[in-house]
Amino acid sequence: MNLIEITDINDPRLDAFVRTTERELRTCNAPEEGLFMAESAYVICLALSKGYEPVEMLVEKGRLEIEAAPVMEAIAKNCGQATADSIPVYVAEHELVMNMRGYALVRGLWMTMKRKPVVTVEEFCRGKKRIAVMVDVVNPANVGAIIRSAAALGMDGVLLTHAAVDPLTRRASRVSMGTVFQIPWVQASLEESDGLDLVKRLNSYGFKTVAMALTDDSTSVDNDEIRSNDKLAVLLGTEGTGLPKDVISACDYRVMIPMYHGVDSLNVVAAGAVCFWELMKNT
């Protein structure tokens, strides 16, 4: 293990962990060469098992044996012993690490990792029959939880518009419990993200589009006609405002979840989970 002790938070070797925003990590050099920050041994080991490449790690000194050791084993297994021997592992005392802005509530282990090459929406949709589509969902906790539900309930992939939160942000990946590395997903380019154009694109790829929206013509989500379609794309909007009206109108179906006790709606995470479960039945 290439251990490097850090005693000063201003050490330039900590720039990626302390002074670089997640957006800056994502856009460093060309997009396909961008980085992201993963945190906790569990999440990092999942990412390694799915082919993500490590760059450097920061760990609290007291967590070397408990958390860093299994991560290094995972690097050796998935990337080779040479990588495990050479990757920089910065070690710092708890008091120094806890001064890192925005990191006070998470476990004391972080790793920068390489992103995978960007693919187009068309390439992503090939071979898939059930996808979740997040239209401008901007809450990272919601993005992570929806991806976790989509993975657990059998969806084939998740598509996010350009304005949605990046699933590889620390909070989204943490809330997803690492499922951002277990289910295929893609974030559309700005050009691919216009709502009406996106619906047309999905239709041209053979998908029937399903808007989760409460409208006069919404049908119950447990609809056998909808389920019988070979390919379905479920569109979910951001918490509060939901999907744009023109996008709702452009979709092939509009679905709702029957409510009781005067409740008018569920949050987008719970609604998405119910919809995924119902639409995956008999597939």
Provide the residue ranges of all domains of the chain, joining segments of one domain with +: 2-114, 121-279
Given a contact cutoff of 8 angstroms between Cβ atoms, the answer to whether 61 and 93 are in contact is: yes
Q: Which CATH number fits domain 121-279: 3.40.50.12240, 2.30.30.790, 3.40.1280.10, 2.60.120.10?
A: 3.40.1280.10
Closest CA to 54 of 214, 68, 205: 68
Place of tokens 């910065």: 90
In terms of DSSP bridges, do strands 35-39 and 109-114 run parallel, antiparallel, or are they unpaired?
Answer: antiparallel
More confident residue, 183 or 102: 183
Overall pTM surpassing 0.85 (yes/no): yes
Q: Over pLDDT 90: what percentage of the chain?
A: 62
Return phi, psi of residue 148, to 5°: -60, -45
- Span 155-171, mean pLDDT? 94
Q: Please state the CATH superfamily assignment of the domain spanning residues 2-114 in this structure.
A: Ribosomal protein L30/S12 (3.30.1330.30)
pLDDT at 270: 93
pLDDT at 105: 45
Ranges of H-type helices in the chain:
15-18, 22-27, 41-49, 69-79, 81-86, 94-97, 121-125, 140-152, 170-175, 195-204, 224-227, 245-250, 268-279
Confidence of residue 64 (pLDDT cuts 50, 70, 90): confident
Would you say the CATH fold of 121-279 matches that of 2-114?
no
- Span 55-82, mean pLDDT? 92
145/180 Cα distance (integer angstroms): 10
Q: What is the mean pLDDT of the chain?
A: 89
Confidence of residue 40 (pLDDT cuts 50, 70, 90): confident
Predicted confidence (pLDDT) at residue 199 exceeds the cutoff of 60: yes
Look at 36-45, 121-130, 135-144 and tell me which has the smallest mean pLDDT: 36-45
Given a contact cutoff of 8 angstroms between Cβ atoms, the answer to whether 180 and 145 are in contact is: no
Q: Could you tell me how many residues make up the chain?
A: 283
Predicted confidence (pLDDT) at residue 102 exceeds the cutoff of 90: no
10/2 Cα distance (integer angstroms): 21
